């Protein structure tokens, strides 16, 4: 009989409380103050009239894999009240909540109907057709009389998530007519108006910024259960704003380089042409002279800082920039982020105007306090990829170093002079375009900008870089296995006489090669797929030491595992995985009967599925055992990146590592590291940034912290170019090799080399005509041979599903192709997959591969 251990309902541990407080602090540090006239912070005891969808119905995270299962979810209304702010608009909020509840009831009734045959059908429909709130009640004269206060706070909220992109419509990227009307009313009737953006990605802020009485605008994001607490901490001054944007917010949507052809915008969801090339985010805006509303790296504080640059040095393959930061305000302590950008010479290889190369954050500085900060980055990070030479090259010329606190607020700090061309790394051309595609160019525009800067550059200090300052790497690539002659290894007498066991490897009795050689084709095929379709088996772990307070995880789409078929016969332990980019996504409660049978469907771990069910999913709380496994929700990935704080990233990683040990999850199916190519991507909240350096650095810190715990590993995803949700299973991303390497793969490369992640997950889409799960050049030649990745590569769930092949322009990936390309594991697995892999292996042994 299986045994399931967990906490009794209502048990709140010290760890849970500690983790919640850490996340509350981190989330506040990721909030970005966009506009401010000096009104904030609010004083305790103040009165405020609170309006907007997210005031009481705060959005805590996006939908899908990155949802969370925290015990408590504090709305913005509740958070402000806990902080001592009196909310005067209670009658309006009650009336609006009733409207929202009616809408939700109707919506989930439709989802419930879709789920009649199978609950998963309702979940898929919920993903693809997210609830879009209808018209807000217009604030009336009566509402205004009841909601007496000098300050009005309005919360703009948006929900986005997996399997659906956002829309360029009112109520999504644009404010709805009702939101505009209510903001107009508030601006005419209150001395000060504060607007909070409870959203996962940029939206159009032009109307908000036009309000006569706008006092503050904040991007508060979605910070899981602590959202309301973190917002209150910022508004009341418990925490001084220190977040900085990790995306460029455009003046209008049409300013984005791929505005017209992103995903479904041009009606073609089969082929996505990355014609912007390397010009993504601020690289585009800065190179083409387009002024954004809020630039990359931007964020205000309740105080101000000065940044002065000292010497620029080279040391041990790095560039070091010495700076001095001073809090020049009078009233508030705060923190500043020193950002270093480099403008490369625009010679044979075209460059963006500038690229972020390094950053550092100060300590908390009191008014008048000064701190010296050193920003460092590798010299080889200045190299660009030449498709012509298939190499990373430092071209000869002057590299201008700029230092400041956003991409649009920097000063020239010095020159890095490369005296002759340096080949830093020799590669070979991989993952090239499958058809001709013209990319945009800013060469002439940048040449004009640089010509105007000649005077300011003339007096800058210079450091010279020579070939001996940069180590040379020449990559070598393996020969494809299917081009080698396959030899059937002879088994020893011992291998023939008995089944070798996994624990014998650990004890040193046998070698890993001997053990693998003893496995049958069928056994090896089972190791290549997940456990879906298998019966339950005894939980096995080596050295973790179960106790009565440990939780043996009920398996589900959010907590899957590898095969259990070899646990008893071979002693190979199954590895447990959990989804959840915003924390471990578990079953908050599960039910076990007296015979030890698990009665709770694991899909209930998906956010809002309980609303589809429409009743208590625990069937018998009296006669059955009920256990809890609440975990700590983290701020959405974009908010985490917006802290620009390695210590914050480390703390969140440590929370995940500790909780993974507690619930016996060996592999976290995160972080998600795709680039914010366009603000309409439905899953942007789950990804870090438009910039690969911030993406790689943030992921590296999180990964290192998690993997400092025994038996805890991460899975970087979705590798690569999963930059849209529309037709995500069958979209062909046409992208140049250079843009792929410099923008879309660079974050993963940084994380692999800095943090050695345990695993990575391929994406659903294709890159230049081949599904990433079947792309040998990406998975084996780039990830393993060039970067040295030695972890596990797995597919995303259902990558090889053939169910809708007849409707696709591009057919699904194949099981045999996944293994051939370099995947170690196909998820979620099935007997059909085992058979397909086993049959393919037998054909190899006969001299061919299908």
Query: Which whole number is the average pLDDT over 340-361?
Result: 96
What is the residue whose two structure tokens read 């302590």? 333
Omega cis (within 30) before 216 = no
- Read off the tokens for 466: 């020579």
Q: Are 585 and 606 in contact (CB under 8 A)?
A: yes
Q: Using CA atoms, how far apart are residues 679 and 464, in angstroms rounded to an integer?
A: 40
Q: Using CA atoms, how far apart are residues 63 and 312, in angstroms rounded to an integer?
A: 46
Helix or strand holding residue 568 (H, E): helix 567-570
Q: Check whether 493 has a pLDDT greater than 90.
A: no
Question: pLDDT value at position 220?
Answer: 98
Q: Using CA atoms, how far apart are residues 66 and 637, in angstroms rounded to an integer?
A: 9
Secondary structure in 3-state letters for 773-826:
HHCHHHHHHHHHHHCCCCCEEECCCCCCCCCCHHHCCCCCCCHHHHHHHCCCEE
Q: What's the DSSP call for residue 371?
A: E
Percent of the chain with pLDDT over 70: 94
Q: Smallest Cα–Cα separation from 718: which of 694, 683, 742?
A: 683
Residue 264, CA atoms < 13 Å, CB-side half-sphere: 13
Q: Check whether 302 has a pLDDT greater than 90.
A: yes
Q: Quick check: helix, strand or coil at residue 114? A: helix
Q: Check whether 540 has a pLDDT greater than 50.
A: no
How high does pLDDT run on average in the chain?
91
Query: Which whole number is the average pLDDT over 605-622?
Result: 88
Q: Using CA atoms, how far apart are residues 152 and 94, in angstroms rounded to an integer?
A: 17
Q: 203-262 pLDDT, tens per residue? A: 999 999 999 999 999 999 999 999 999 999 999 999 999 999 999 999 999 999 999 999
Q: Quick check: helix, strand or coil at residue 297? A: coil
Q: Smallest Cα–Cα separation from 237: which of 18, 84, 21, 405?
A: 84
pTM: 0.94
Q: 407-456 pLDDT, tens per residue? A: 999 999 999 999 999 999 999 999 999 999 999 999 999 988 888 888 78
Q: Are 352 and 442 in contact (CB under 8 A)?
A: yes
Query: Which whole number is the average pLDDT over 685-699?
Result: 98
Q: What confidence tier does 552 reach under pLDDT thresholds 50, 70, 90? A: very low
Q: 725-749 pLDDT, tens per residue? A: 999 999 999 999 999 999 999 999 9
Q: Using CA atoms, how far apart are residues 732 and 771, in angstroms rounded to an integer?
A: 8
Q: Which residues contact 496 (CB under 8 A, 6 or more apart)?
A: none
Q: Provide the pairing of β-strand 770-771 with 759-762.
A: unpaired
Query: Which whole number is the average pLDDT over 152-167?
Result: 95
Q: Smallest Cα–Cα separation from 302: which of 276, 330, 283, 279?
A: 330
Omega cis (within 30) before 718 = yes
Largest CA distance in the chain: 91
Highest mean pLDDT among 363-377, 457-471, 835-849: 363-377
Q: Are 801 and 760 in contact (CB under 8 A)?
A: no
**Distance, first Cα to last Cα, the chain:** 42
Q: 78-130 pLDDT, tens per residue? A: 999 999 999 999 999 999 999 999 999 999 999 999 988 888 888 888 888 88
Q: Using CA atoms, how far apart are residues 388 and 123, in angstroms rounded to an integer?
A: 47
Query: Which whole number is the average pLDDT over 778-805?
Result: 94
Query: What are the helix (H) ranges across 480-548?
Result: 493-497, 502-506, 512-518, 521-527
Q: What confidence tier does 550 reach under pLDDT thresholds 50, 70, 90? A: very low
Q: Using CA atoms, how far apart are residues 65 and 68, in angstroms rounded to an integer?
A: 9
Highest mean pLDDT among 473-482, 554-563, 588-597, 721-730: 721-730
Q: Are 646 and 168 in contact (CB under 8 A)?
A: no
Alpha carbon distances (Å) from 439 to 443, 736, 759: 12, 9, 33
Q: Smallest Cα–Cα separation from 693: which of 359, 374, 470, 401?
A: 359
- Read off the tokens for 253: 């949507």
Q: Are 237 and 57 in contact (CB under 8 A)?
A: no
Question: pLDDT value at position 542?
Answer: 28
Q: How far is CA 767 from the centre of its chain?
A: 20
Phi and psi, residue 791, nearest 5° = -90, -165
Query: Which whole number is the average pLDDT over 632-643?
Result: 97
Percent of the chain with pLDDT over 90: 76
Of the listed ranges 6-20, 375-389, 550-564, 674-688, the one predicted with least confidence = 550-564
Q: What's the DSSP call for residue 128?
A: H
Q: Using CA atoms, how far apart are residues 175 and 635, in angstroms rounded to an integer?
A: 24
């Amino acid at each position: 009989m299986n045994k399931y251990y967990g906490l009794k309902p209502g048990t709140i541990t010290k760890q849970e409380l500690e983790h919640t407080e850490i996340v509350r602090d981190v989330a506040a540090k990721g909030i970005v103050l966009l506009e401010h006239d000096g009104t904030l912070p609010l004083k305790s005891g103040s009165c405020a009239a609170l309006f907007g969808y997210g005031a009481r119905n705060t959005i805590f995270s996006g939908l899908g894999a990155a949802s969370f299962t925290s015990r408590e979810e504090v709305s913005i209304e509740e958070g402000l009240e806990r902080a001592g702010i009196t909310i005067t608009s209670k009658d309006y909020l009650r009336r609006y909540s009733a409207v929202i509840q009616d809408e939700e009831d109707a919506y989930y009734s439709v989802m419930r109907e879709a789920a009649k045959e199978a609950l998963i059908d309702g979940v898929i429909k919920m993903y693809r057709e997210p609830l879009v709130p209808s018209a807000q009640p217009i604030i009336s004269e009566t509402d205004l009389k009841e909601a007496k206060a000098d300050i009005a706070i309005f919360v703009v909220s948006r929900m986005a998530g997996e399997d659906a992109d956002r829309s360029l419509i009112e109520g999504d990227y644009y404010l709805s007519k009702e939101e505009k009307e209510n903001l107009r009313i508030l601006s005419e009737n209150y001395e000060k108006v504060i607007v909070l953006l409870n959203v996962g990605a940029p939206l159009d802020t032009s109307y908000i910024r036009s309000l006569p009485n706008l006092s503050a605008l904040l991007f508060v994001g979605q910070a899981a259960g602590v959202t309301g607490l973190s917002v209150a901490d910022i508004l009341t001054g418990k925490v001084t704003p220190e977040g900085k944007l990790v995306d460029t917010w455009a003046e209008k949507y049409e300013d984005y380089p791929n505005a017209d052809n992103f995903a479904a915008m041009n009606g073609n969801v089969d082929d996505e042409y990355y014609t912007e090339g390397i010009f993504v985010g601020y690289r585009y805006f800065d190179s083409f002279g387009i002024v954004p509303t809020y630039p990359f790296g931007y964020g205000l504080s309740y105080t101000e800082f000065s940044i002065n640059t000292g010497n620029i040095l080279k040391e041990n393959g790095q560039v070091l920039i010495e700076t001095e930061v001073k809090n020049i305000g009078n009233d508030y302590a705060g923190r500043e982020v020193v950002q270093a950008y480099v403008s490369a010479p625009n010679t044979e290889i075209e460059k963006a105007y500038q690229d972020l190369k390094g950053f550092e954050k100060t300590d908390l500085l009191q008014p008048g306090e000064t701190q010296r900060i050193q920003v460092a980055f590798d010299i080889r990070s200045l190299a660009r990829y030449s498709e012509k030479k298939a190499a990373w090259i430092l071209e000869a010329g002057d590299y201008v170093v700029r230092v400041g606190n956003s991409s649009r607020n920097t000063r020239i700090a010095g020159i890095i002079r490369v005296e002759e061309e340096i080949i830093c790394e020799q590669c070979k051309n991989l993952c090239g375009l499958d058809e001709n595609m013209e990319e945009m160019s800013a060469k002439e525009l940048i040449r004009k900008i640089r010509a105007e800067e000649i005077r300011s550059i003339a007096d800058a200090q210079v450091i010279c870089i020579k070939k001996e300052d940069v180590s040379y790497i020449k990559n070598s690539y393996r020969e494809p296995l299917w081009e080698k002659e396959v030899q059937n290894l002879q088994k020893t007498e011992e291998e023939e006489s008995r089944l070798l066991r996994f624990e014998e490897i650990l004890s040193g009795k046998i070698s890993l090669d001997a053990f693998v050689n003893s496995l049958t084709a069928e056994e090896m095929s089972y190791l290549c797929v997940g456990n879906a379709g298998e019966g339950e088996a005894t939980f096995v772990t080596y050295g973790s030491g179960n106790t009565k307070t440990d939780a043996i995880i009920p398996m589900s789409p959010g907590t899957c595992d590898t095969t259990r078929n070899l646990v008893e016969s071979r002693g190979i332990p199954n590895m447990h995985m959990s989804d959840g980019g915003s924390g471990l996504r578990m079953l908050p409660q599960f039910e076990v009967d007296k015979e030890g049978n698990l009665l709770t469907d694991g899909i209930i771990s998906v956010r809002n599925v309980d609303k589809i069910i429409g009743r208590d999913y625990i069937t018998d709380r009296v006669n059955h055992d009920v256990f809890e496994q609440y975990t700590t929700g983290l701020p959405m990935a974009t908010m985490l990146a917006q802290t620009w704080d390695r210590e914050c990233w480390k703390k969140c990683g440590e929370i995940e590592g500790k909780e993974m040990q507690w619930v016996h999850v060996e592999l976290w199916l995160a972080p998600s590291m795709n680039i914010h190519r366009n603000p309409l991507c439905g899953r942007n909240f789950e990804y870090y940034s438009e910039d690969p350096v911030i993406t790689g650095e943030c992921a590296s810190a999180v990964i290192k912290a998690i993997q400092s715990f025994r038996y805890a590993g991460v899975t970087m995803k979705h590798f690569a170019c999963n930059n849209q949700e529309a037709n995500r299973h069958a979209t062909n991303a046409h992208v140049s090799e250079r843009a792929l390497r410099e923008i879309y793969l660079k974050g993963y490369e940084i994380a692999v080399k800095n943090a050695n992640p345990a695993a990575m997950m391929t994406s659903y889409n294709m890159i230049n005509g081949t599904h990433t799960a079947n792309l040998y050049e990406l998975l084996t030649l780039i990830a393993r041979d060039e970067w040295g990745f030695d972890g596990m590569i797995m597919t995303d769930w259902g990558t090889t599903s053939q169910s809708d092949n007849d409707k696709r322009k591009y057919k699904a990936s194949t099981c045999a192709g996944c293994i051939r390309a370099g995947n170690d594991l196909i998820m979620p697995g099935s007997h059909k997959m085992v058979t397909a892999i086993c049959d393919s292996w037998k054909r190899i042994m006969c001299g061919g591969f299908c």
